[in-house]
Chains A and B, each alone.
Chain A
Amino acid sequence: MTIVPIDGKVVLEAVRTAVDRYGATRDELIPILNDVNREIGYLPGEALDEISRLLRVPKSHLFSVASFYRMLSTKPRGKHVIQFCESAPCHVAGGREVWMAVKEALKIDEDETTPDGNWTLVTTSCLGVCGVGPVMMIDDDIFGNVDAKQVQSILARYH
């Protein structure tokens, strides 16, 4: 993978911004991890070190939390993350074909990142917009009534 190494300064900056915003207490851990994950794209080791230092929480605990939640990642992710809804109503509405089309378009499988570091593909549980299924979410944008033919043009918006 040709993901550009993350600049340590950027990581520390992201951590400090998040800690400043929520306060350095343990019960703010998940909001902090969420923010850093969003800012950097994942949770690099340096980030966990710094959060551990500021919140006085052992790194093992941070790792156990970060690895528990689906939206947090300790591994590098692509520039854009596609969350594909895999629940029953979307499945019934033809989600399978769209899922195949996305995998085909990006040439990757679930939980993988494209070699150019642009895309990561993950599945998600119900996004709660079943009336317009099949549904997928790219970063914070949500797309409904997706059919296999639209996949290419939706992905093309992110270049």
Chain B
Amino acid sequence: MSTIKSLEDLKRVREEALKKRDLKASSGTVQVIVGMGTCGIAAGARDTMKSILDTIEKDSLSGIIVTQTGCIGICEKEPILQVVIGEAAKVTYGKVTPDIAKKILKEHVGNGKVVTDHMINI
């Protein structure tokens, strides 16, 4: 990590960050994002997250980046899980229990089939 000493440095860091993001998208990386605000955690996001990490390890899945984000604003649907595959649109799932998370990993991440039952439109 480099210190930002000037406006030019800031621009450079920004461009690098954007590049990293584009690269993630263009390379077809799978991003699994879990809402880990207090509301998410209260609704069980930690268990959901754990189930995702366990499944990835158990099934030796690769190329999946698991990240977290804050409160999305639809707390009644927590825990919320989002899947982004490459440049495809982000798909948002609501009330994702550990079992549903496993199902999403298997069907959506594994086979590219969106699990429509648990999808939410936001």
Interface residues of A (CB under 8 A from B): 127-132, 135, 142-145
Contacts and interface: CB of A to CB of B under 8 A. Distances in A.
B43 interface: yes
Interface string B63-78: 0000000000011101
Main secondary structure of the interface of A (DSSP, over half): loop
6 contacts: A131-B75, A131-B76, A132-B75, A132-B76, A142-B41, A144-B43
Given A142-B42, A143-B42, 20 more contacts: A127-B38, A128-B38, A129-B38, A129-B42, A129-B75, A130-B75, A131-B39, A131-B75, A131-B76, A131-B78, A132-B39, A132-B42, A132-B43, A132-B75, A132-B76, A142-B38, A142-B41, A144-B39, A144-B78, A145-B43
Nearest to B74: A131
Nearest to A143: B42
Contacts of A128: 38
Contacts of A127: 38
A73 to B, nearest CB: 23
Contacts of B39: 129, 131-132, 144
A135 B42 contact: yes
